[in-house]
Amino acid sequence: MSPLAFVVRVLPLYALALALTGVGALAIDERLPSAWVVPLAILALLEFAALMTFRRARPWSSVLLTAFALTAGMLVRLMLTGIRLAWPWALAASLSIPLLGIPLGWVAGDRLRWMGWLTWVAAWAYVLGWIAWQLLVESPLARVPWGMAGLAIFTALTLTWSGALPGREASEPEVSTASELYLIGLNLGIAALVVAGG
C-alpha cells in the first residue's frame, strides 16, 4: 500500500470510526445502571469478533466497524465512570500519536519487524489486564501509571504496525487496515483518558 492510498482510503475511515466512538460516548447517560456494562461488553465482543472475521468482506466490514465504534464509545463511557473524562486528551492521543508514529514506522520498515510480535503480545496483555484492573485494582494511585503503560505499549505498536504497511497488498480492503488502526487509536485514547483523569 502506498502512502497516498493509505491517506485517501484508510484515514477517512479511521476518522469516521473515532467520531462515532465520540457519538456513542456522548449519546449514553453515565448515570445508567452498571447492569448495562455487561450487555454492552458482550455486544462489543460479538461485534469485534465479527469485524475480525469479516474485515475483508467489503460491505459488511464497514457496517461492523461503525457499529463497533458506537458500542465502544458507550462502553468506555460506562466503564470509566469514576474518572474525569477529558475527551480532548483522548482525541489528541488517538490522532496525534498515529499521525506522528505511522510515518516513522513506515520509514523504519523491516527494521522494526523483530519487535512486531512483542508489541502485539504486550498490547493483548494490556487489554486483558483491564479485566484485572476493573475487578481487583481500581485504585486512583494506579491510574496514571496504568494509563502511561498503555500509551507506551500502543505507541510502540503503532510504530511496528506501520512498519509493515509498505508490504501490504494494494487490493486489501481499506476497512481491514482502518479497523486495525482504530483498535490501536481507541486504546491510545482510553489510556489518555485514564492518565488525564488520574
**pLDDT category of residue 136 using cuts at 50, 70 and 90:** low
Are the CB atoms for 156 and 119 separated by under 8 Å?
yes
Q: Mean pLDDT over residues 156-163, rounded?
A: 93
The proportion of the chain whose per-residue pLDDT surpasses 70, expressed as a percent, equals 92
- Helix, strand and coil content of the chain, in percent to the nearest 5, comes to 85, 0, 15
The runs of H, that is alpha helices, within 1-112 are 3-5, 11-27, 37-54, 58-79, 87-108
Report pLDDT digits (tens) over 7-29.
Answer: 898 999 999 999 999 998 888 77
Report the amino acid identity of residue 149. A
Mean pLDDT within 184-196? 92
For 17, residues 6+ apart whose C-beta sits below 8 A from its C-beta are: 65, 66, 68, 69, 178, 179, 182
Q: Sorting pLDDT into bands at 50, 70 and 90, what band is 138?
A: low
Query: Residue 121: which residues within 8 A CB-CB, separation 6 or more?
Result: none
Confidence of residue 82 (pLDDT cuts 50, 70, 90): low
Residue 123: pLDDT above 70? Answer: yes
